[in-house]
Amino acid sequence: MTLTEHIKAYFKAWLRGIILGAIIFFPAKASAQYSSNSTYSFFGIGEITGARPIRSEAMGGVSLALSSEYNINNINPASLNKFDSTTFLFTAGINGYLSSFKSGKISKTGTDFNFNHLAFGFPIKKWWATAAGIAPFSSVGYDVKLSIPIEGSASTLETQFQGSGGVTQFYLLNTFHPLKPLSVGINVSYLMGAVKHTELDKLTEFDYPDVTKTDTRYFRNFYYKLGLQFNQNIGNDRLSIGLTFNPPQKLKIRHDVEILIPNVDTLNTKPDNKDIFEMPLAIGAGIGYNINSIFELAFDYGFDRWSTVSNSLRRASLTDSYHYNFGLEFTPKETLIRSYLSLIHYRAGAYYEKKYIQLRGNEIFDRGITIGAGLPIGRQGSTIDIAIGLGRLGTLNQGLVQETYGSIKIGFNFHDYWFIKRRFD
C-alpha cells in the first residue's frame, strides 16, 4: 500500500466508525458533556485534569520518564522517541468515576463518564516523531446547594450551584532525537472551551420565580510545553530521565453574565474585569528504571508556581501545587509462563497531589492508588489498557467537601505498521 491508500483506508474506517457509533450511542449523546464531578472545580479554570495515557494512569500517573513504541505519552513532548519508522499509533480513552461526596454529615454519590483522550502519532523521520490529539485540559462539574441566611431575617435562601464545561486541549507533539540518548520535544497546544457556572436562587417559598445567574467564561489561547528525555541503556536495563517545563502563559477570557429574573428582566453583561487567566510556570521531573524489559519503575515530581500568578478565585486563594507519582509495570513475557497472561503488562502505582486552590486556609490534597493492565490484542502491538483507581480528594475540615472516588479508565491503543503491506487484511 502507498501512503495515499493507507490514508484512504483510514478515512473509510473512520466514516464507518462514525456511522456505527452514532447509531448505537445516539440516545446517550443528548446529555453528553465532559465534566469532573468535583466541587473544587468551581474555582478558576476548573479542575486541571491533565489527561494522561491510560498506561500512566494505571501507574499512579507517572509519565515524565516513560516512552513507548505503543503509547502516545502526551505529558512529556520528548517521549515519542521509541517510534519505529513504520509505526502508526492511534489511541483513545475514557474515564469513569463513581464518587461519594461528603460535606458535614451528609454524603451523596455520583457517577461520571467522560472522554479521556484521542490521539494519533507517527514518525516523520528517524529522528523526528509527531503526534496530534485532543484531550480535556480542565473540567468543571458540580451540583451543590447552600442555605444562605437572609440578612435581617431568621430564614434562609436555598441556592443551587451547578457547573459544567471545561477547556479542551488540541495538541501537537514533536519529539526530536537526533542525538541518542537525548531527545527534546515541544507541545504546541491550542486551548479552548467554555466554563459555565449557574446559580439558581430558589425563591418559590417567597412566591417568586427562581432567579438564575449564568456566568460563562470562554478560555482560549496557545499553550506551550517543552520536554526533554534521556534514555541510557545499562546492560539489559535502561535508565530514563524526563523533564518538562511550562513557561508562565496567559489564557484569554471572554466573560458573559446573564441574570434571568422572570417577569422582570434578563440582564446581560460582559464584565470588563481582568480578561486573562494566568497559567503559572510549571516544571516536572521524572526518573524511570527498566529492568530487562520486565520491570519498569518510575517516579515523577511536578511543581506549579500558582502563588505567583494573580487570578481571582473569589473565596479561594491560589497556592503552589505539586504532585508525586510513583508507578511500576511488570511484563512477565516468556520468562515465567507461556500463555497470554505472560504477555500482559501488569501495572500499579500511587499518587499524592496538592491542588492549586486553598479554601478557608485548607490546602486541598488528592491521593490515591491505582492498578491496571495492558492487554495485547493481535500481534502488531495494539493493546487495551485498563486502569482502576481509588482515591480521596479534599477534606472535611471547615465544612469543605471530601470526595472519595473509584475510577476506571480504559484506553485503546491501536498500533499499525505503516508502509508494510500485510498479507492478510
Q: What is the DSSP letter of 178?
A: S
Residue 407 interacts with other proteins (CB under 8 A): yes or no:
no
What are the cell numbers at 211?
A: 432567579
Single residue of 7, 86, 108, 333 touching other proteins by CB under 8 A: 108
Residue 219 interacts with other proteins (CB under 8 A): yes or no:
no
Residue 145 interacts with other proteins (CB under 8 A): yes or no:
yes
Nearer Cβ to other proteins, position 90 or 326?
90
Strands 382-394 and 156-176: unpaired
Question: Which residues from 241-260 bind other proteins, rule CB under 8 A?
Answer: 257, 259
Nearer Cβ to other proteins, position 212 or 307?
212
- Say how many residues touch other proteins, by CB under 8 A: 89
Single residue of 24, 179, 379, 424 touching other proteins by CB under 8 A: 24
Single residue of 199, 237, 320, 363 touching other proteins by CB under 8 A: 199
Nearer Cβ to other proteins, position 207 or 334?
207
In angstroms, how far is CA 347 from the centroid of its own chain? Answer: 19
Residue 124 interacts with other proteins (CB under 8 A): yes or no:
no
Question: Which residues from 349-378 bind other proteins, rule CB under 8 A?
Answer: 359-360, 378
In angstroms, how far is CA 98 from the centroid of its own chain? Answer: 17
Residue 425 interacts with other proteins (CB under 8 A): yes or no:
yes
Nearer Cβ to other proteins, position 80 or 89?
89
> Shortest distance, CB of residue 33 to other proteins, whole angstroms?
6
DSSP string, 186-208: EEEEEEEEEEEEEEEEE-GGGT-
Stretch that binds other proteins, among 66-74, 121-129, 206-214, 341-349 (CB under 8 A): 206-214
Strands 401-417 and 249-261: unpaired
Long-range contact pairs involving 334-340 (C-beta distance under 8 Å, separation at least 24): 335/294, 340/376
For 74, the 3-state DSSP assignment is coil
Residue 29 interacts with other proteins (CB under 8 A): yes or no:
yes
Nearer Cβ to other proteins, position 132 or 281?
132
Cβ contacts of 155 within 8 Å, gap of 6 or more: 149
CA distances in angstroms from 171 to 27, 48, 135, 288, listed in the order given = 30, 16, 8, 25
| Closest by CA position to 174, among listed 104, 107, 229 | 229
CA distances in angstroms from 368 to 323, 326, 387, listed in the order given = 12, 11, 12
| Closest by CA position to 93, among listed 109, 73, 76, 78 | 73
Distance CA 291, CA 299 (A): 15
Nearer Cβ to other proteins, position 21 or 247?
21
CB 76 within 8 A of CB 63: yes
Residue 204 interacts with other proteins (CB under 8 A): yes or no:
no
Task: Name the amino acid, one letter, at 46.
Answer: G
Round the CA-based radius of gyration of the chain to a whole number and report it: 23
Residue 419 interacts with other proteins (CB under 8 A): yes or no:
no
Task: Name the amino acid, one letter, at 171.
Answer: Y
> Shortest distance, CB of residue 186 to other proteins, whole angstroms?
26
CA distances in angstroms from 226 to 79, 184, 185, 316, listed in the order given = 11, 8, 6, 30
Residue 398 interacts with other proteins (CB under 8 A): yes or no:
yes
From residue 305 to residue 334, what is the string marking binding to other proteins with x (rule CB under 8 A)?
---------xx-------------------
Stretch that binds other proteins, among 46-54, 69-77, 87-95, 276-284 (CB under 8 A): 87-95
Q: How many residues does the chain have?
A: 425
Nearer Cβ to other proteins, position 2 or 31?
31
Q: b/e per residue, 368-382, with b = 16+ CB within 10 A?
A: bebbbbbebeeeebb
Single residue of 5, 7, 8, 13 touching other proteins by CB under 8 A: 13
Single residue of 2, 4, 104, 424 touching other proteins by CB under 8 A: 104
From residue 164 to residue 183, what is the string marking binding to other proteins with x (rule CB under 8 A)?
x-------------------
Residue 94 interacts with other proteins (CB under 8 A): yes or no:
yes
Residue 210 interacts with other proteins (CB under 8 A): yes or no:
no
Stretch that binds other proteins, among 10-18, 74-82, 225-233, 285-293 (CB under 8 A): 10-18
